[in-house]
């Protein structure tokens, strides 16, 4: 009777199965951990939205939203970020198929659109400060700069993350670990789009019409 423990082929097979199972468990743990991070980040933004809601009418004799918000410019910025969500979505079928080159192209386009978004936001902030509507002017403006600036900082982190992914994919290809990282980046980027829709609606639109 043959002892399977003495069979090199069987041992190698078992070893590979163990490695695959270990990799699968690591992948699930990574995604679960990232979901927990996103929930904690959602709590941060919920707190910022709540703070803004409380002080959104505390103008301290300063400018009110309809006097300082440029809705066409904000709508352009919203279009840039939503378009970046679409381009990221276009990368995902190529990621699943293991096609590295198209993934890098779509990620690069996403990063460029994100850079455009941050650039417009910095222009808006600079214009407000030059008009005397800086964060120190009133509680409303302090809350506005904090909320919108925190979102912009997240987008900037996402752009850096995209740049790192582009370099790593070019060097290592679409390994299982790399695919998980791109998946996490995708969740992060779409999360920022959802937060921005809330900012655009609650801060800008509601602020102008009320």
Q: What is the CATH number of the domain that holds 156?
A: 1.20.120.80
> Is the pLDDT at 7 greater than 50, yes or no?
no
Residue 88 lies in a domain: yes
> Is the pLDDT at 14 greater than 70, yes or no?
no
Task: Tell me phi and psi for residue 85, to 5 degrees.
Answer: -70, -35
Residue 108 lies in a domain: yes
In the chain, the number of structural domains is 1
Residues in the chain: 210
Question: How big is the CA angle at 184 (ends 103 and 166), to the nearest 5 degrees?
Answer: 35
| Model pLDDT for residues 115-160, shown as the tens digit of each residue | 999 999 999 999 999 999 999 999 999 999 999 999 999 999 999 9
Residue 90 lies in a domain: yes
Residue 1 lies in a domain: no
Residues 165, 167, 168, 169: is their CA dihedral positive or negative? positive
pTM recorded for the entire structure: 0.86
Residue 12 lies in a domain: no
Residue 81 lies in a domain: yes
Domain with 198 in it: 36-209
Question: How big is the CA angle at 101 (ends 90 and 164), to the nearest 5 degrees?
Answer: 85
Looking at residue 56, what DSSP letter applies?
T
**At which residue do the structure tokens 């740049």 appear?**
163
What's the pLDDT score for residue 26? 66
H/E element holding 201?
none
């Amino acid at each position: 009777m043959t002892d399977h423990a003495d069979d090199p082929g069987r041992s190698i097979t078992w070893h590979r199965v163990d490695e695959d199972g270990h990799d699968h468990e690591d992948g699930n743990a990574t995604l679960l951990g990232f979901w927990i991070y996103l929930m904690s980040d959602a709590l941060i933004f919920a707190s910022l939205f709540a703070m803004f809601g409380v002080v959104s009418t505390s103008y301290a004799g300063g400018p009110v939203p309809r006097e300082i918000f440029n809705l066409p410019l904000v709508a352009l910025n919203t279009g840039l970020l939503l378009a970046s969500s679409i381009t990221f979505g276009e990368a995902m079928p190529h990621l699943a198929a293991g096609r590295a080159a198209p993934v890098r192209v779509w990620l690069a386009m996403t990063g460029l659109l994100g850079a455009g978004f941050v650039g417009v936001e910095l222009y808006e902030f600079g214009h407000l400060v030059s008009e005397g509507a800086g964060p120190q002017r009133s509680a409303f403006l302090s809350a506005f700069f904090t909320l919108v600036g925190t979102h912009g900082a997240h987008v900037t982190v996402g752009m850096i993350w995209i740049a790192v992914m582009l370099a790593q994919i070019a060097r290592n290809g679409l390994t299982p670990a790399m695919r998980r990282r791109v998946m996490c980046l995708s969740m992060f980027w779409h999360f920022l789009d959802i937060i921005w829709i809330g900012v655009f609606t609650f801060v800008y639109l509601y602020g102008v019409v009320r």
